[in-house]
Structure 1
Amino acid sequence: MVDAVPTEGGPALTASRPVRKKFAQPPVKLACLPCRASRTRCGGQDPCSNCVAKGRKCSYLPSKRGGPRKKKQKSSCSPEREASQGETQYMVDSSTDFGDSPGLFNQIDVLSLPGAGLRHLDYPHVGSLFQGFYVGEDSSSPLQMESMPSTISTRSCLVRTYGTESDILNAYYDFIHLYFPILPPRPSRQFEDRPLHCPVSSEPTSEPVMMYKPRSPLSLAISAVLALIPHPEDPEPSASVSVLVRRSYAHSFAQLANSMIEAECDLELSSTYPGQALSSMRPSVNRDRLHPSTPEDIETVLALLILSVYEYTQRGNLLKMRYRAGQALALALEKNLHSCNDNDHMSEARRRAWWMTYYCVLQGSIVSTTPPTIVINDPQFTTPYPNFDSDAEGWSILIQSQQVLVSATQYISDLNKSLATQSDLHYMFERMQQLDSWTTSVIAQTDVLSAPPAEPDFGDRRETTTARSIRAISRIKLSSAQIKTHRFRAFSDIPIFIKRHCDLSAANSANIPTEVPVKRASRVLGNQSISCTCSNLDQFQRAPSSEYPTPSDSSTSSDIHPYVPTWPQYPFASGFPYSPQQSAKICLRSALTISRLFEALPYPQPLSENGTARILATGQPLPRTMPSFSCCLMQSSYAMLMIFYKARVAKQLSSDSENELVRHATDPIVEELRLGLERIIAAISNYSLAFEALDGMRDEVHGAYQTAFSSTNV
C-alpha cells in the first residue's frame, strides 16, 4: 500500500507504509472490566493473569459486539453497584506512568465537565448530555450505565408517604427546608414524623398504590422528594428492590404534580373561545393553603422549583431541570413577584418564592454551563430580599454567591473562546482579577454570623439552623467560583491539560521548544515552601516570574536548574494576573473548604415517637436533600485530584538525589487531599441514598480516588 506524504512547500511524495505485526497473538474478543478500565491487554481467562497478579477481582460483562441485530428495548440503570465489583470495576491501573500515559488525567478531567457523573434515568444509554464538549476525542469515561437487573426480589417494601397535608408540611421542614427554604418559617412547633406504615408491592409492573393523594401541586412535589428518602423501618434501604420502588412512587408524585400544574395554568376559555381567553382572568384556586402564610396561587411556582431540583438530582435531566425553572420564572413574572413591595403577612412568602425562582434559574445555567436566561442585575427586580429572624444578611449572601458563581461559570466559557481564537485575552485577564476580588469580598461577608439565640429554638422556628446551612451553602458556591476562576491558570503548566483544553500545541507549534527546559522538581509545584498542610496554607509563596520561563528563556533556566525537566509556558501566559502557584494555592484552599463545609451541613432531624431524632434502620444518618449544588462537589474533587496529579508528576520527574526532598515537600499536601476526597465521597454517598442521579458522581470520584490512592503514594 502506498500513501501520499505531503511535504512543506512542495508536492506530495510517496512512501511505503510498513506493515507491522502489533501482537504475537490477536486480542481477545472480550476483556474483563478491570483491564478495560485500565486500558491494559487482557488474556481473556477467568480470572485473567493481570487480575491474579494484582490481587483484584476479575469480572466480565457480556460483549455487545457481533451477532444479529436486535430490536432496541427500553432499559433503566441499576440503582446500585454490585458489591463484588464496587471497588475494582472502574479502577485505572495504579501503576500508570504519569509522565507518559494520560490514564489518571482522563479520569480527573471529566470531573470538570457540565453534568459530570450524573446518571440519567430518562436516557439510560447516554452518559453526560454534555460529554465531549470541552475535551478531546479520548473523552470517554470508564463508567457505563447498567441495565435493569434481570431478576428482582418481590418482597414487600416500605415507602415514605404521608396521610395528611399537615404531616407532609411537617416533613418538608424536617427534610427540605434546611437546604431549600421556599416557604416561610414553621407555622407551628415541630411534631413527630409520621410516615405511613403500608408495605407496598415490589412487582416491577405494578402501579404505585397511594393511601393518600396530596391535594396541591406543592404537596405533591414535596411528596416526590420525600418518597426518595428511605422509610425509617426499611431494613435494606440500598437494596435494588427498595430503590426501584422509591423511584416509582417519587416519579408518580412528580407526574401528578405536573398534571395539576398544567390544569391550574390552563385558561378556562382557551379550548372553546380562544379569542376571549387572554382577556379573561385565570380561574381561582379552590383548595386550602398548605402553609397559612403562603398564598395558594404561588404554590404552583414553588412546586416547579422543587420539581426542577428533582429532575436534576434524581432523574439526571439537565434539560428538564432548566425547563421547570423556566416555567416557574414565567409564572413568577406574570404574578409580578419580581416587583412585589408590599408588607403584609404574605409578603415573606412572595419574596421567598421570587428569589428562590431567581436562584433556580441561575442554578440551571451553572450546572449546564450555558448563558443565564435573565439579566442577573436586572433593575426591574425590585422585590426585597426575604429575612431569617436569626440572620438578617443570610438571603443577601446566598443570592450574591449565586451571582458570583454564574459569572465565574460564564468566564470559563468565554476564556475557552478567547484562548481558541487568541483574541480579547487582555480583557479576560482583567475579568479574572475582577471576579477574584468580587468573590473575596462576598466570602468576607459569609464569615460574619450573628450569635445563636439564647432561648430554645424548637423546630428551628427562628430558622437558626437553616440560616447557618444557607451560609455554608453560600460559602461552598463561592469556593466553587474561585476554583472555576483559577483552575485554568493553576493547571496551565501541564502539557496534557493545555492540549486537551485549548489545543495550543497545534496553534503555537512554532513557539514551543523542542527541548524542554529543566529545573528542580520542588519548583514544579511552586517552591520549597509548598509542604503546607490545611492548617498552614499560607506557606505557599508567589513564585517569581523567572520560575516559569517562556521558551526564549529555556537555555538560561537549564543552566540554573540542571536536574529535572518541567514544562514550557505559552506566549499568553505572561498576561495572567496570577502565577500558576498562586492559582493552585487558591484552588487547593477552596477545594478543602468545600469538602469541610459539605461534611458540616446539618442532617435532617425528624422526631420519633419518644421525641428523639430518627435515623435509618441501618444506623446510617438520614440523607440530606435538595443537592442542586452538587456540581460544587465535582469542582472540589477535580481541583484536589489535579493538584495530586501535579505532585505525582513532580516526584516522578525528580532525580534520585531530590526524591526525598520532593516526598517531604508533598506528603502533607497529599494527606490533606486524601482526607478531603474522603469527605467528598462521604457527602455524595449520603446524598445518593436518596437521589439516584448522584450515584454516577459518587462512582466517578471514588474511581479516581481509588486510582490515585489505592496502592500509589507520592
Structure 2
Amino acid sequence: MVDAFHNESGLFSTAPRPVRKKFAKPPVKVACLPCRASRTRCGGQEPCSNCLAKDRKCSYLPSKRGGPRKKKQRLSLSPEEESQQDDTQYAAAAEEFDEPSDMFTQIDVLSLPGAGLRHLDFPHMSPVFQGYFTDGAVSSHVPLGLLPTPQMGDAQCVVRTYGSEPEILNAYYDFIHNYFPILPPRVAPPCQDRPLRYPISSSGPSAEPLMIYRPRSPLSLSISAVLALIPHPDDPNPSSPASVIQRRVYAQKFAQLASTIIETECDLDLSSTDPGQALSSQRPSVNRNKLHPHAPEDLETLLSLLILSVYEYTQRGNLLKMRYRAGQALALALDKSLHDSHIEDEFSEARRRAWWMTYYCVLQGAIVSTTPPTIVINDPQFTTPYPRFSSDAEGWSILIQAQQVLVSATQFIADLNKCLSSQSGLQYMFERMQQLDSWTNSVLAQTEILPIISHEPAFGDSQEIITAQSIRMISKIKLSSAQIKTHRFRAFSDIPLFIKRHCDLTAANQTSSSQEIVPKQSASAAGMSSVSCSCSSLDQFQRASSAEYMTPSDSSTSSDIHPYIPQYPQYPFAPGFPCSTQHSAKVCLRAAIVISHMFEGLPYPEPLYGTHQQAQHDRPLPRTMPSFACCLMQSSYAMFMLFYKARVAKQFSPDIQSELPGDSNDRVLDEIQQGLERIIAAVSNYSTAFEALDGMRDEIQGAYRTAFPQTAI
C-alpha cells in the first residue's frame, strides 16, 4: 500500500509504509491544537510538519493529558480564577472547532425579539421578523393573494363557526380557557361541541365570508376569531392551502367585526354632533345579554381586546397591534378602576380576572417585543386581590410573579447589552444578575409546593383543576425562560463566535497586561430602564412589594486582564460575573429542558364529540393562546448553543470534559436532542392553528436538521 509520509527534511514523499511496532516512537508530550482537533499525530515542532504542509496556523496549549489527574485542585482556586481557567480552556478549543457555517447563523436568530414570527399584515417586513431557514424544509406558509380559489368540484372547505352564543361560550371553555382564563368558571355543564357543518363556497380570498350566524358581542366575536383557526372536524384536508386561507379569512373577519363594535362602544354619542357637551355626558350603557352570567356585559369589550392582543401576535404576527390592543384594554381597566377593586359580589371574580389578565397581557407585550413595560410592575396602586382557583389558592399569585420575573429578565438583557457595549455600569449589572437569579429561584421553589385547596370543588370547578395545573406549567415555562435570559450571556461568553455576534464588544488591547474598566455610571446615566422587582421579599409568596434595584456607587473598579492564548484576548468584564460559565451553562440546560417538558405536559383540548366527529380525529387538537411562544425560542436557542459546547467538549475530550454540565457528553447530547424534539412537537401543534408560528417551527426545524442531519423529524 502506498501512502504519503514525512521524511527527515519535512517534505512529502510517496513510498510503501514501513511496518513498525505500534508506538515505537512515543507520542510527543504536547501536540498542537490543530492536530489535537483533527486527532492527527503531531511531530511537536513549532510549526509542526502537519501544519506546515497544510499551510495553517500552528499553536500550542499545554496539555493536561498524562499523569495522575488532580480533580481536587480546582477547589483551591478562587471563583474568579476558576472562571478564567474555564474560559481559557474552552476558548482555545472552540477557536479550532470546525462547525458548519450555517449553525450560528441559524441559532442567533432564535434569540431575537419576535424571532420566527410570520407577518400576515406585512409580508415584506424586515428579515429580522421573517423565517430565515426554510431551505430544504417543508413549509406550510400560504402567502396572501397567492392561494388557489376553492372550487365546488374540489373537496369543500369547512370552517369552525358556531350557531349561538351558548355554543361559542362552551367552545371557549373547550379550547381557550385552560390557557387563558379570562372568564369565571363554567356555570352550565359541558355540552357537545357542535360547530356548523356548512361547506365554504366563497369565490376567492377577497370575497366576503358567509356567516350563518353572526355573534352579538365583541367577546363572542373575538372568541370566534380564535375558534375559526382550529381545523373543523369535518374538514377532509385541514392543511391544504384552500383550508388555511378560509380559516384565515373567517378569523380576520370575526376580529374586524369585534374591533368595530369595540370602537362603537368606546365612542360617545355627542362626539359627532355636539363635541362641546360630549365630555360632560355619561358613557352610554351596553344593551345586550351577558355572554357569561357572572361577567358583566361592560367587561366584554375589555376581555375581547385581551383575546385580540394574543390573536395579533400568534396569528397575524403583528407585535405593534398586540401591544396596542393590550394598551386599549389597560385604558379601559383603569377607567373602570379594576386595578383597585374590592367589591364583593357575584361579579368579583370576573373583575379580578379581567384586571390581572390585562396586567398579564401588557407585560407580555413588553416581553415579546423587548421593550420597557408601560406600567410599573409593582405599582402600589394595583391593590385588586388575585383571582382564585378552588384547587390552587396560590396559582394566580405564582403566574403574576412569574410574569414580573420574566419582564425583569427581559429588561436585564437589554440593559446588559448597553453596559457591555460601553463597558460601564458592569458591577451594577452583576448585582442585578444575582438579585434576579435569587428572585427567580424563590418563585420556582413556590411552584414546587403542593397546591393549597381553598375549599371543596363546587359545580363547574372540575375544569378549573386542569386550568390551575396549566397555569402552574405556564408559570414554570416563564420562570425557566427568565433563567435562560439571566444566564445566557455568561453561559456562552466563552464561545468566540458568540462574542463576535453579540453586543458589538471591542477586544481588549492584547499588548496590555491590565486595563481599567471605564468608571461605572448610574443606571439612568447609562440609559437603562428602571424595572422594579421583588428581591427584597423573597421569603413571601404573596404579591411582590414595590422595590427598586439600588443604583451602585460611583466608585470605579479595575479588573486585570489575563490573556487567553495568543491572538485571543479576554474581555475585561468576564472576571466580574457572579458565576462561572459552567454554572450558567448548567442553569440554561436545566431551564431549557424544563421548558420542553412543560410544553409537552400542557393539556390538549378535549371537547365532547359525537361518535362521527370523534372518528375524524387521529391526532391531538391544537392548543391555543400561545402568548408565551417566545419561551419556545429561548429554550431552543439555549439547547442549540449547549449542543455546540457539547460538541466541542466531546471532540476535545478529556481535556475539556468537565466544561459541560452533566455526567456524560453523550448523555447531554441525547437530552438536548430529545428536548428539541419536544419543542418542535409543541410549536408544530400550535402552528396547526396559528399561522404566525409557522416561522418559529421552520426556524427551529432548520437548525435541528443542521445539528442532527441523520435524524428525521
TM-score bracket relative to the smaller structure: 0.7 to 0.9
* Contact in 2 for aligned 1:119/1:128 (Cα 8 Å): no
CA contact (8 A) 2:224 2:254 kept: yes
Query: 1:614-653, aligned counterparts within 5 Å?
Result: 617-653=616-652
Residue 597 (structure 2) pairs with residue 599 (structure 1): no
Q: Distance in 2 between matches of 1:457 and 1:341?
A: 23
* Pair 1:167-2:167 in alignment: yes
CA distance in 1, matches of 2:512, 2:614: 61
Task: Determine helix, strand or coil for the equivalent of 2:416.
Answer: helix
Q: CA deviation at 1:393?
A: 0.4
Report the Cα distance in structure 1 between the residues aligned to 2:216 and 2:247, rounded to whole angstroms.
20
How far residue 430 of structure 1 moved from its aligned partner, in angstroms, is 0.3
Deviations 1:632-679 (A, max 9, x none): 000000000000011223344569x99999999311100000000000
Change beyond 3 A, Cα 1:269–1:98:
farther
The letter of the residue matching 2:241 is: S
Percent identity between the aligned chains? 67
1:286 is matched with which residue? Answer: 287
Distance in structure 2 (CA, Å) of the matches to 1:151 and 1:165: 33
Residue identity matched to 1:287: R
Q: Distance in 1 between matches of 2:438 and 2:225?
A: 41
> Which has the higher mean CA deviation after the structures are superposed, 154-163 or 103-112?
154-163
Quote the Cα distance in structure 1 between the aligned partners of 2:340 and 2:666. 55
Q: Cα–Cα, structure 1 residues 101 and 210, in superposed 2: closer, same or farther, change >3 Å?
A: same
Q: Which residue of 2 is the match for residue 429 of structure 1?
A: 430
Which residue identity lines up with residue 686 of structure 2 in the other structure? Y
Q: In structure 2, how many angstroms separate the alpha carbons of the residues matched to 1:502 and 1:259?
A: 43
Assess, with a 3 A threshold, how the Cα gap between structure 1 residues 169 and 404 changes in structure 2: closer, same or farther. Answer: same
TM-score by length of 2: 0.75
**1:484 equivalent in structure 2:** 485
The alpha carbon displacement at 1:503 in A equals 2.6
Q: Is the contact made by 2:231 and 2:238 (CA closer than 8 Å) also made in structure 1? A: yes
Q: Hey, what does 2:524 align to over in structure 1?
A: none
Measure how far apart 1:616 and its partner are. 7.9
The Cα shift of 1:620 comes to 1.1
CA distance in structure 2 between the partners assigned to 1:335 and 1:471 by the alignment: 29
1:508 CA displacement:
5.0
Compared CA separation, residues 99 and 282, structure 1 to 2 (3 A): same
Contact 1:99 1:649 in 2 (8 A): no
TM-superposed CA distance for 1:280, in Å, is 1.0
Give the equivalent residue in structure 2 for 1:191.
191
Structure exhibiting the larger radius of gyration computed from Cα positions? 2
What is the aligned partner in structure 1 of residue 105 from structure 2?
106
Question: 2:374 is matched with which residue?
Answer: 373
Structure 1 gap ranges (5+): 1-96, 132-138, 514-548, 559-564
Shift of the 553–146 alpha-carbon distance from structure 1 to 2, 3 Å rule, reads: same
CA 1:278–1:455: 2 relative to 1, 3 Å: closer
3-state SS in 1 of match to 2:417: helix
Q: Which residue number in structure 1 is paired with residue 228 of structure 2?
A: 227
Aligned residue runs from structure 1 range 24-423, under 5 A: 99=98, 102-127=101-126, 147-148=143-144, 149=146, 151-154=148-151, 155=154, 156-201=156-201, 203-204=203-204, 205-423=206-424
Distance 2:342 2:265 in 1: 26
How far residue 279 of structure 1 moved from its aligned partner, in angstroms, is 1.3
Query: Which whole-Å CA distance do the structure 2 matches of 1:140 and 1:225 have between them?
Result: 27
Distance 1:365 1:168, change over 3 A: same
Which amino acid in 2 is paired with 1:300? Answer: T
> 1:436-468, CA deviations, whole angstroms, 9 ceiling, x for partnerless residues?
000000001111233789999876546100000
Distance 1:660 1:507 in 2: 27
Question: Conserved in 2, the CA contact under 8 Å of 1:152 and 1:240?
Answer: no
Give the whole-Å Cα distance in 2 for the aligned partners of 1:399 and 1:150: 42
Give the 3-state SS of the residue equivalent to 2:573 in structure 1.
Answer: helix
- Cα 1:554–1:206 change in 2 (3 A) is closer
Q: Which string of whole-angstrom CA distances, capped at 9 and with x for unpartnered residues, describes residues 161-185 of structure 1?
A: 0001000000000000000000000
2-side partners of 1:605 and 1:485: how far apart?
Answer: 36
- State the shift of 1:594 in Å: 0.3
Paired amino acid for 2:562: S
Taking a change above 3 Å as real, the CA distance of residues 510 and 269 of structure 1, as seen in their structure-2 partners, is: farther
Q: CA deviation at 1:127?
A: 4.7
Secondary structure of the structure 2 residue equivalent to 1:439: helix
1:88 counterpart residue number: none
Question: What is the number of equivalent residue pairs in this alignment?
Answer: 564
Aligned to 1:44: none
The alpha-carbon distance between structure 1 residues 380 and 401, as it changes in their structure 2 partners (threshold 3 A), is same
TM-score, normalised to structure 1's length? Answer: 0.74
Code of the residue aligned with 1:104 in structure 2: it is: M
1:569 Cα deviation after fit: 3.2
- Whether contact under 8 Å (2:187, 2:459) holds in the other structure is no
Q: Shift in Å at residue 129 of structure 1?
A: 5.6
CA distance in 2, matches of 1:650, 1:419: 27
Q: Secondary structure at the match of 2:228?
A: helix
Equivalent residue of 1:114, what SS?
A: coil
Q: C-alpha offsets along residues 35-92 of structure 1, whole Å, 9 cap, x if unaligned? A: xxxxxxxxxxxxxxxxxxxxxxxxxxxxxxxxxxxxxxxxxxxxxxxxxxxxxxxxxx
1:10 corresponds to: none
Kindly provide the amino acid, as one letter, of the partner of residue 691 in structure 2: E
- Taking the aligned partners of 1:302 and 1:396, their CA distance within structure 2 comes to 20
- Contact persistence 2:409–2:486 (CA under 8 A): yes
Q: Structure 2 counterpart of 1:695, which letter?
A: D
Residue 20 (structure 2) aligns with: none
In structure 1, the partner of 2:562 is: 552
Q: How does 1:515-534 map to 2 (within 5 A)?
A: none
